Amino acid sequence: MDDGSQGRFSLHFPGVWRDVRAGRDPDRRFGRAPNGFLNVAAGGGGVSGFRGTCARRHALAIFAAAVVLAFGAETLAQSGRVAFPEWREALRPRALARGVSDATYTSVMRDVKPDTAVLELVRNQPEFNENLWQYLNRSVSDWRIEIGKEKAKEYSALLARIERDFGVGRSVMLGLWGIESAYGDPVVQRKHMRPVIPALATLAWGEPRRRQYWEQELIDALRIVERGWSTPDEMRGSWAGAMGHTQWMPDVWLTIGLDYDGDGRVNPFGRPDDALGATARYLQRLGRYRRGEPWGYEVRLPQRFAGGARSRSYEAWRKAGVIRADGESFALPNATARLWVPVPGGPAFLLGPNFDAVRAYNPSMNYTLSIVHLGDRIMGGWPFVQKFPGSEAAPTLAEVQEIQRRLTDLGFDTDGTDGRVGDATRLAVRAFQRKVGMEPADGYPGLRLLARLREAR
C-alpha cells in the first residue's frame, strides 16, 4: 500500500513550509489567485486551556520545519552545542517542573536516541506543484469514498451520538477523518508513522530556533505517558508529532482531549471515539459550528455576475440570480453565505459559517473544501457539476490500481498497488513522466498518464 502522504504533518500540502516561511498563502500552490490567506495567529475563545487555535498549532510546527529546511539537517544537528545525552539530562528539571515524575522521565528518556532521519525527512520532503482539481481528485478518491461509506455504517451509532452532543454532521466528521488519517488505517500507522518521542526529542535538541516549541511538545508527550493515557510504543505519528485518527499534537491531546468512550483515559488511537468526539467538540466550541446548517453549496452564477462576494442570505443570493449547481433549492434561505470562486472559470461556491468552522482545524481553504466535498461524496453526493479549467475526470479505484501495476511492471516502485496514492506513487509517476518526456512532470496519477502507460512497452 502507498499512503505515505498521511505521514506528513497535518496541513497536507507539499511545499507549504516554504510558503509559510516566505509569508505566502499555502493555497497558492493550487494555481489560483491568492484568496483565504493563512491565518497564523487566529484567536478567539474556545476549549479551556488551549494555547491558541489549531491554525496556530499547525503554523508553529510548519514554521519550525521551515527553519530546518532553510538551514539543513547537518548544520542544525551540529548546532545543538551539547551532546544529546547532556541535552537530555538538562531537559529533566524542566519536565519535572511541568508534572513529569523523575521515574517516568528516566523510564521513557533513558534509552532515547536522536532520530536524525527526522531532520533529513524535513529537508528532503518531496514537493509536487499541482492544480486544485488534481488535489481534489487525489484527496476525494474512490478509495476514500468507499472506505468512508464503510466507516459510516460501522460507526453509525458513534456519529449519531456526536451529532446529538455537538451538532457536527457525520459528513464533516467522516471527511475530516478520511483526509487527516485515512480513517486511522493501521497499515498507514505501521508503515508511515514513526515513534513520536524520539522525533520530538531530536527536533528539540537539534533545531535551536524553535527549540522552545519542540520542547513543549516533547514534555507534553511525557505528561501524556505520566497520566497513563498512552505509552511510548503506542505514540507513533508524523515526524512533527501529530498522532492518531485526527492527528493531534501532544499539546492538543492534553488540552482538547475528551474521554468519549468512558474508558478512563484520553487516547486518539484505537477506537475512534475519543478522537472524533474531541474534534467535534473543538469544531463546536472554537469553530462555532452551527447545528443543522450546511457548509455551503456549489452554485452557478449568472452571466457577467458582478454581485460581489460579501456575505448575504441564500435568499438574497437567489434573487441575484445565483442558484445551486445541482438545481435544488437552498434548504435554509435565511442562513448566510459568502461567494468563493477558487479558480477563475471553475466552480463557484457559497460558503456558510460551517465551512469556516471546519477551516478552524486547518487554515487552508482548499484543504477545507476537500473535507466537506469528501463528506458529501461519502453521504451519496455527486462530483462537482462544473469543471475546473484544464481538468480531467478523477480516475476510478481500478484505474489507479492499473496505473500502479503498470508503473511497477516498468520498474517504477509505487510501494503497492491497492489504489491509494501517496508519495511513493507520485514519485514513481514523476520519474516515468520525466523518462518519456511528459509535460508537466507533476507526479499526478491521472487518466492522461494512464493512456501513456498503456502505450508504453
Question: What CATH number corresponds to the domain at position 24?
Answer: 1.10.8.350
What angle in degrees, to the nearest 10, is found between the helix axes of 211-226 and 54-71? Answer: 130
Number of domains composing the chain? 2
- The residue ranking higher by pLDDT, 251 or 13, is 251
- DSSP collapsed to 3 states, 198-218: HHHHHHHHHCHHHHHHHHHHH
Question: What CATH number corresponds to the domain at position 421?
Answer: 1.10.101
Quick check: is 276 in a domain?
Answer: yes
Q: Are 357 and 289 in contact (CB under 8 A)?
A: yes
As a whole number of angstroms, the distance between CA 429 and CA 444 comes to 7
Based on the fold, state whether residues 249 and 121 are members of the same structural domain. yes
Asked whether the predicted pLDDT for residue 42 surpasses 70, the reply is no
As a whole number of angstroms, the distance between CA 358 and CA 381 comes to 19
Local structure of residue 338 (DSSP, 8 states): E
**Cell output for 159:** 456519529
Among 269, 285, 301, the domain boundary falls at 285
145 three-state secondary structure: helix
Quick check: is 371 in a domain?
Answer: no
- Average pLDDT in the 32-57 region? 31
Give strand ranges (E) for 156-217: 194-195
Quick check: is 376 in a domain?
Answer: no
- What is the residue-averaged pLDDT of the chain? 85
As a whole number of angstroms, the distance between CA 324 and CA 348 comes to 10
CA atoms within 13 A on the CB side of 246: 31
Among 259, 285, 311, the domain boundary falls at 285
Q: What is the pLDDT of residue 47?
A: 29
As a whole number of angstroms, the distance between CA 223 and CA 217 comes to 10
Q: What is the pLDDT of residue 209?
A: 73
Quick check: is 151 in a domain?
Answer: no
Based on the fold, state whether residues 84 and 229 are members of the same structural domain. yes
Range of the domain at 119: 4-130+192-285
**What residue type is 220 in one-letter code?**
D
- Average pLDDT in the 263-290 region? 96
Which of 2-16, 75-89, 287-301, 434-448 shows the lowest per-residue confidence on average (mean pLDDT)? 2-16
Q: Are 198 and 236 in contact (CB under 8 A)?
A: no
Q: What is the pLDDT of residue 3?
A: 52
pTM, whole model, 2 decimals? 0.83
Question: Each residue of 325-358: pLDDT tens digit?
Answer: 999 999 999 999 999 999 999 999 999 999 999 9
Based on the fold, state whether residues 199 and 60 are members of the same structural domain. yes
Quick check: is 448 in a domain?
Answer: yes
As a whole number of angstroms, the distance between CA 384 and CA 388 comes to 9
As a whole number of angstroms, the distance between CA 401 and CA 407 comes to 10
Q: What is the pLDDT of residue 274?
A: 98
The residue with cell 507549504 is 16
Comparing C-alpha atoms, which of 411, 399, 412, 409 is closest to residue 445?
399
End-to-end CA distance of the chain: 25
Asked whether the predicted pLDDT for residue 37 surpasses 80, the reply is no
Comparing C-alpha atoms, which of 377, 373, 383, 417 is closest to residue 3?
417
Question: Each residue of 5-24: pLDDT tens digit?
Answer: 433 333 333 233 333 333 44
Question: Each residue of 128-172: pLDDT tens digit?
Answer: 788 999 999 999 999 999 999 999 999 999 999 999 999 999 999
Residues sharing a CB contact under 8 Å with residue 437, sequence separation 6 or more, in sequence order: none
Quick check: is 331 in a domain?
Answer: no
Asked whether the predicted pLDDT for residue 402 surpasses 80, the reply is yes
- DSSP collapsed to 3 states, 236-257: EECCCCCECCCCECHHHHHHHC
As a whole number of angstroms, the distance between CA 429 and CA 441 comes to 8
As a whole number of angstroms, the distance between CA 370 and CA 172 comes to 10
Asked whether the predicted pLDDT for residue 68 surpasses 50, the reply is no
Quick check: is 98 in a domain?
Answer: yes
Among 233, 253, 285, the domain boundary falls at 285
Comparing C-alpha atoms, which of 448, 400, 305, 422 is closest to residue 7?
422
Q: Are 377 and 369 in contact (CB under 8 A)?
A: no
**Cell output for 25:** 498563502
Residues sharing a CB contact under 8 Å with residue 340, sequence separation 6 or more, in sequence order: 35, 36, 309, 348, 349, 350, 351, 365
When pLDDT is cut at 50, 70 and 90, the band that residue 73 belongs to is very low
Quick check: is 344 in a domain?
Answer: no
